Each structure stands twice: as C-alpha cells, then as structure tokens.
A and B are shown apart, each in its own frame.
Chain A
Amino acid sequence: MRAAQSGDRAAYERLLREISPLIRALVRRHCSNRADIEEMVQDTLLTVHRVRHTYDPSRPFCPWLAAIAWRRSIDALRRRIRVSKHETREDGAYETFSDAAANSDLEGVRSAEEVQDLLQLLPPRQREALQALKLKEMTLAEASLASGQSVAALKVNTHRALKALRALIEGRKR
C-alpha cells in the first residue's frame, strides 16, 4: 500500500488482487448471496481506492482494510433492507442494451432537449447515476469513482431514476 500511495500501479494491482479473497471472506460473514458478495467486494475495493491516502504505513494494514469491508457490508445490508421494504429488485433496469429498440423506456420522448428537461426534474443523485450509466455509458466502477456513489447506490438510483422518468413521461402523455 505504501508503494501504491506513491503511484506504483503494478504494486497496487497486485495488492488489490491479493486482498480480494480476504475481503470476500470478510463480507461473507454478513451475506451469503454470491452476487451480493461480489458487489460488496467491488464496493470495498472502490472505497479502498478512494481513501487510500488515509492509510498510515506505521500501523497494521489489516484492521484498516477490515474496517472498510465491514462498513461497506453494513451499508449494503442496510440499503438492501430499506429498498426491499419499498421496491422490487429489477436487475435489468440498469442495463443498457445494444439494440436501441430494447431501450423503449424513453420512446415517448421526442427530443434530446425533452430528455434534458426531464432529467432536471430528478433528484441530483438519481440524475447523476442515470447520466453516468446510461448517457455517458460508464461502467459501474467508473461511475462510482466519478460520482462518489457506491455500486449498490448507483444501481438503486438508476432504478429509481428510470421509474421516475417513466412516471414523468406518462404524465406528459396524458
């Protein structure tokens, strides 16, 4: 990590690959679903990247890493409980299909200006998630780094943004 803080990319990639199984073991204590575990691992890696300047080489590395993994697991579980109380999970909602016709959510919207107008009506974090994943076609990792939102939060916010957009478009049709 000391080398990574100095910008050594090879050392950093090696470190991230070596700590991934450890993070996986740590988050497995909180969750048994494989897809959810990988999502928590990715969120932890993104957080490690974001707060790598806080690691003090004079202190042991494992408690620092475990604290991040634990916090990200708890956040993911809380988010899942909160979401499951109000919403049905729809994994396909944040996918962008290569066939334009498949993305039929916005078919009722005639112009780019109209889409921009509708986007302005969304809450900032939902708009940010939708713009990054759908309009700029970023990967979840890239969008997470750019926005500071976790992978899970991006998925939830994209889902909510699409739902809100659908409602807005329906409202305009009437």
Chain B
Amino acid sequence: MAAMQTDRVIESLAAQLQPVRRLRSPLLRALLWLAVVGLVGGVLIAREVGLGIFMQRMAMPRVAVENLATALTAVTAIIAAFELSVPGHSPRWAVLPVLPFLSWVLASGLGCLRNGLSLHGADGFAGDSPHCFAFIAGASVPLAAGLFWMLRRARPIAPLPVAVLGTLGVAASAAFMLQFFHPFDVTLIDLTLHLSAVALVMLIGTAWRRPLLAAH
C-alpha cells in the first residue's frame, strides 16, 4: 500500500516536471556576494571617511592581525554558508571559519589586555562602543537581506548551519567595515559590545532561518 503511494508520488513528480536553471557553483556565488559587498562598502567608505583611519591603525601589527582575521572570518563563513546550502557538500566546510574567528577574538582580547582590561572607553564608560554595536547590527541588516536572498535559491535542506555561518559572515563583514570608522583601540567594553552585536545578528538570523531561507 505504502509502496503504491510511492509509485503515485513518482508519477505525480514526473508528470509535473519542468526544466530548471542549474544553480551556479556555491564558491562562485559566495565570491559574487563578497565582491558586491566589497564594491558597495568600498564606495561608501571612500565617500564617507576614506582610508586614513584604517591605514593608520593597520601600521600596528596586532591591529593588522585583528583586521585580517575579521576579514578572513567574513570570507570563510560566507563561503562555508554557500557550500553547505547545497546537498552533498562536506559538512567539514563548517569548521573553515573557526580559526579566523578565534584569531579575531584573540587579537581583540590581546588589545584589551594591553589596555589593562579597562571598562572605560576613550570617552567615559563605554565611550563610543554603543555606536559600534549599532553600526554592526545596523549594517548587518542589508548585508543579511542580500545574503539570504541568494542562499534561499538553493532551498537548503539543513537551514541551521547555513543560517549560523551566513550570519557570522554578515556580522564579521559589518565588523570589518567598522574598522574604517574606528580610530581608537579596543577596550573590554568595546570588545564585549562588538561580540554582543555579532551574537545578536547570529541569534536573530538563526531564529528566523526558516522564513528567511524558505523557497521563493
């Protein structure tokens, strides 16, 4: 009886078959998203602040490592999210952003240690950190919208890792862009708020993964 139903399902699926446009390679689509974000972000940054602050801070080796690790977290997490959105790709893609992410947190943590674990920013308690939080959370919204729009084309069969990695990539991209507007070194409260913003973006994106990744 059940096997007969399976036969009927097969007949029904074959009867309504339509040609489909094959999905491009996940790596290509990830690079496309990164290129668009890099281009748009680059134009906006060039118009608003230029490279002055960023290049000045990149002269410090620890900050350079921190920024490089942030950018690598974004790139690897986005690539992993696109790879895992397609069935049959190795689940090991999920560990790709782990090392850059740990390097990012460690390099930032070293900055906090250097600043004596002070809770105070340059401008009193918390300083400009709430602005950093707002920047990461706010910039993540359009970035996530574009990313989920592209990811849902694959109709991921396991949306959880795709959403976790995708939102990590989005939040890391926003955190990297923040470095162009961030003239002061990281403090403990600063780092806490940066990571809280990343966690918030990941939490919201992951909680809404089903509607966000549902098929068109």
Stretch in contact with the other chain, from A3-11, A110-118, A128-136, A154-162: A3-11
Decide yes or no: A67 and B88 within 8 Å by CB, A9-B14, A38-B6, A53-B21 being known contacts. Answer: yes
Check A108 for interface membership: any CB of B closer than 8 A.
no
| Any B CB within 8 A of the CB of A123 | no
Q: For the complex, is B59 an interface residue (Cβ under 8 Å from A)?
A: no
Q: Are A20 and B6 in contact (CB under 8 A)?
A: yes
> Given A7-B18, A9-B17, A45-B13, A38 and B5 touching (CB < 8 A)?
yes
Check if B87 sits within 8 Å of A20, measured CB to CB: no
Q: Which of A16, A59, A142 is in CB contact (< 8 Å) with B10? A: A16
- A23 to B126: give the CA distance in the assembly, Å: 57
Return chain A residues, CB-CB under 8 Å to B13: 12, 16, 45-46, 49, 141, 145
Contact B158 A39 (CB under 8 A): no
Q: Which of A13, A17, A41, A53 contacts B20 (CB 8 A)?
A: A53
Q: Which residue of A lies closest to B86 (CB)?
A: A54
How far is it, in angstroms, between the C-alpha of A142 and the C-alpha of B19 when the chains are bound? 18
B9, A46: Cβ atoms under 8 Å? Answer: yes
Shortest C-beta distance, B150 to chain A (Å), equals 13
Most chain A beta-carbon contacts within 10 A, residue among B2, B10, B11: B10
- Are A6 and B154 closer than 8 Å at their CB atoms? no
What CA separation (Å) do A7 and B18 show in the bound complex?
A: 5
Question: Per-position contact with A for B1-40: 1 when CB-CB < 8 Å, else 0?
Answer: 0110110111111111111111101000000000000000
Question: Which residues of the other chain, B, contact A46 by a CB distance below 8 angstroms?
Answer: 9, 13
Mask of A59-87 contacts with B, CB within 8 angstroms, 1/0: 10001111110011000000000000000
Complex: how many Å from CA A142 to CA B25?
30
| Contact between A38 and B154, CB atoms less than 8 A apart | no
Question: A37 CA to B3 CA in the complex, in Å?
Answer: 10
The 8 A CB mask of A100-124 against B (1 = contact, 0 = none) is: 0000000000000000000000000
Closest CB in chain B relative to A71 CB, distance in Å: 5
- Point out which of B17, B19, B214 has the most chain A C-beta atoms below 10 A from its C-beta: B17
Residue A126, interface by CB 8 Å: no
Minimum C-beta distance from B114 to chain A (A): 46
The reply on B155 being an interface residue by CB < 8 A is yes
Cβ of B55 under 8 Å from chain A: no
Q: Residue B215 at the A interface, CB < 8 A?
A: yes
Kindly state whether residue A50 has any CB partner on chain B within 8 Å: yes
Question: Do A13 and B154 touch (CB < 8 A)?
Answer: no
The residues of B that contact A35 with a CB separation of less than 8 Å are: 2
The yes or no answer to A137 lying at the interface (CB within 8 A) is no
Q: Is B157 an interface residue (CB 8 A)?
A: yes
> Which residues of B are found within 8 Å of A37, using beta-carbon distances?
2
The complex places the Cα of A66 from the Cα of B19 at a distance, in Å, of: 23
Contacting pair B19 A6 (CB below 8 A): yes
The yes or no answer to A34 lying at the interface (CB within 8 A) is yes
**Which of B17, B25, B155 touches A51 (beta carbons < 8 Å)?**
B155
Which A residues have a C-beta under 8 Å from some C-beta of B?
4-10, 12-13, 16-17, 20, 34-35, 37-39, 41-42, 45-47, 49-57, 59, 63-68, 71-72, 139-142, 145, 148
The 3 closest A-B CB pairs, nearest first, are A38-B2, A7-B19, A64-B88
User: Which chain B residues have a beta carbon within 8 Å of chain A's beta carbons?
Assistant: 2-3, 5-6, 8-23, 25, 86-89, 154-155, 157-158, 214-215
Ordered by A's residue number, 10 sampled pairs between the chains whose C-beta atoms are within 8 Å are A13-B14, A20-B6, A45-B13, A46-B9, A54-B86, A56-B25, A67-B157, A68-B87, A71-B157, A139-B12
